Structures are given as structure tokens and as C-alpha cells.
Amino acid sequence: MQLTRPDLARILDRSAAERPTAELGWLDAPPARARVLRERVVLGPDATVDDVADALFGWRIHRGAGLVIVPSGPADVGVTVVQAVRAGSLWFAAPCRVIDVVRTPDETGFTYATLPHHPETGVESFRVLRDGDRLVFEIHAVTRHDFWGSRILPRVAHRVQDRVTRGYLDAAGLSPGTRPGSP
């Protein structure tokens, strides 16, 4: 937490050798006192798996959610990303590592886990899924408060997480090729 925008490139360099603080298994078996969040949005009739996946793997959905990000590359297993979000007059940096990638005709996406110095400990999964004849974008997160500020003010931490999640959902719905009438 700081008053000025964090140096994300420096944090990315520092985070390169760090190990994730949570495991993929948290999505199926959340630890005690974890917050489980699962949200989804039905994408427009012109949405394609490829368009939304390109926006997701290229980090455009994260940028579209209002995050400032510096990734070490397109989303793939082992890629590190540092995100920054502003809450009031404070900035929070959140380093993560991609730990799982899925690419099938009916499900495409990735999961990342938090790294040390992230305000939370947890995992978050982003998926583009076929649901019958519809295409949906789904977020599934399991987190625990790690930062002293989020432990003292959990409602504020939840509001920030909810705001960013809504941003992801909105950005997925506005990805190229997902707007009604787009080519």
C-alpha cells in the first residue's frame, strides 16, 4: 500500500523468483475462513471463444477492468503479472503467477495464484465457457486476507475485490467481437 503509483516493473523483477502463496486445489477445497467468489456473465450473441480468449490471454480484460498491469508475457503457465489498483488515495500492488491454463473447444482460460506481497492470499480463475448455445465468462476466486489492512477492514477489501471483479465481467462483455453488431 502506498500513496503513489507503485513501480510495477521493479515489483515484477522482485517477484520473478517468488513461489505462489496458494494452490490450484483451493478452488475445489477452499481453506478455512476463505472468501469464495464465483461470478459469470453471458456474453453477447456475436461473442466468440477466440475473441474473448485473445482479450483474456493478452491481459486486455484486466486492463479493461481498470487495473494497471505489467505482465512478463501473455498469460501462460509460469507467467508473472503485477497489477495495481487504486482505492481512494491508496495504491495496492498485487503480484500473481499463472499456474494453470485450459484450452479446449468448450472451455478456455487460466488460473493465477497470489505471490508474496499481494494484499490477499488465494487463487483466481478466468474462464470462457460454452453453456449450451450460450457463451459465458466466469470468474472463480478463493481468497483470504493476508495484508493487515484487509484483516482490519475486511469490508473495504471485499468492496475493492468486488469492484475489480465487476470490471473483469464488464470488460469481457465489451471485448472485440462481443459487442452486439460488431464484425
Q: What is the pLDDT of residue 20?
A: 97
Q: What is the pLDDT of residue 178?
A: 40
Q: What is the pLDDT of residue 177?
A: 42
> For residue range 77-115, what is the model confidence (pLDDT) as tens digits?
999 999 998 777 778 889 999 999 999 989 999 999 999
Q: What is the value of pTM for the model shown?
A: 0.86
For residues 43 and 180, the answer to whether their CB atoms sit within 8 Å is no
> For residue range 29-41, what is the model confidence (pLDDT) as tens digits?
999 989 899 999 9
Positions of the chain with pLDDT lower than 70, given as ranges = 1-3, 147-158, 174-183
Q: What is the pLDDT of residue 152?
A: 59
State how far the Cα of 139 lies from the Cα of 124, in Å rounded to an integer: 7
Domains of the chain: 8-173 (3.30.530.20)
Q: What is the pLDDT of residue 148?
A: 55
End-to-end CA distance of the chain: 42
In single-letter form, the type of residue at position 122 comes to: G
Grid coordinates of 51:
475473441
